């Protein structure tokens, strides 16, 4: 099967030297790409800026902004059987990017932000993707309820929910503890473990899930 995976943060520029971003390291998405490759799948990894070596044997598409990630996914999703959205995409970007470095002036500075493209939310409705669609939900409260709502709203086959309020797991950490959320209110918590082991377990689960769906390239 062909896996398309998004990873890492995005950077939304404010001026030539500044940007808005988040603490995502890209480790979960990179680990998933390598686990899918190890399982014998072909893999395209669309990654925002990450300080990680490019995974061998994986097609790596480097992007910076949410808009670039949206375009890269749009161009490649139709040839994929599985799409896993592990990127921590910025939800908002500055309305204007200054042409020159913003100089200090007034005591306060108000930034006007606008919504970015919802890449996962576009997979079915805009890109017409019919393969196995997997999203992540990073939540600080009501983990399962929020993840189930996201699963339904974005028409996913699986949402991998992680509680980012717990120290030492998830964002910018080597370990993660997630709960799998499936249609019909089904949930399955997985034990806390390193992201590499977790990625292998997730790829096994997703491969079985994808095989139950009628996908164009199976």
| Residues near ligand CTP (CB under 6 A) | 6, 66, 85, 87, 89, 91, 116-120, 135-138, 150
- Supply the minimum distance, in Å, between the C-beta of residue 121 and ligand CTP: 7
DSSP, res 62: E
Buried b / exposed e along 36-69 (16+ C-beta atoms within 10 A): bbeeebbbbbbbbbbeeeebeebeebebbbbebb
Q: Which is nearer to ligand CTP, 91 or 168 (CB)?
A: 91
* Cβ-proximal residue to ligand CTP, closest one: 119
Q: Which is nearer to ligand CTP, 1 or 143 (CB)?
A: 143
Q: Who's near 138: CB < 8 A, 6+ residues apart?
A: 88, 162, 164, 170, 171
Q: Which is nearer to ligand CTP, 101 or 114 (CB)?
A: 114
- Supply the minimum distance, in Å, between the C-beta of residue 71 and ligand CTP: 13
Helices marked H in 166-213 — which ranges?
195-211
- Supply the minimum distance, in Å, between the C-beta of residue 116 and ligand CTP: 5
Q: Who's near 38: CB < 8 A, 6+ residues apart?
A: 200, 203
Q: Which of 22, 142, 162, 176 is catalytic?
A: 22
CA atoms of 212 and 207, how far apart (whole Å) = 9
Is 22 an active-site residue?
A: yes
Q: Which is nearer to ligand CTP, 6 or 179 (CB)?
A: 6
CB count within 10 Å of CB 81 equals: 21
- Supply the minimum distance, in Å, between the C-beta of residue 64 and ligand CTP: 14
Q: Which residues are catalytic?
A: 22
């Amino acid at each position: 099967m062909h896996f398309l995976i998004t990873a890492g943060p995005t950077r939304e520029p404010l001026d030539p030297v500044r940007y808005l971003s988040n603490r995502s390291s890209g480790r979960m998405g990179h680990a998933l790409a390598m686990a899918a490759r190890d399982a014998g799948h072909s893999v395209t990894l669309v990654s925002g800026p990450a300080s990680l070596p490019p995974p061998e044997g994986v097609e790596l598409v480097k992007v910076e902004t949410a808009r670039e990630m949206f375009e890269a996914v749009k161009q490649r999703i139709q040839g994929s059987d599985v799409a896993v959205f592990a990127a921590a995409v910025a939800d908002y970007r500055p309305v204007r990017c200054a042409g020159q470095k913003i100089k200090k002036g007034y005591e306060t500075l108000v930034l006007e932000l606008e919504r970015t493209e919802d890449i996962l939310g576009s997979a079915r409705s805009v890109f017409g993707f019919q393969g196995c669609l997997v999203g992540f939900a990073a939540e600080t409260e009501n983990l399962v309820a929020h993840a189930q709502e996201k699963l339904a709203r974005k028409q996913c086959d699986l949402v991998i929910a992680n509680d980012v309020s717990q120290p030492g797991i998830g964002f910018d950490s080597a370990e993660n503890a997630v709960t799998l959320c499936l249609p019909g209110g089904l949930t399955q918590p997985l034990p806390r473990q390193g992201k590499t082991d977790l990625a292998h377990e997730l790829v096994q689960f997703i491969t079985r899930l994808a095989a139950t769906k009628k996908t164009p390239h199976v």
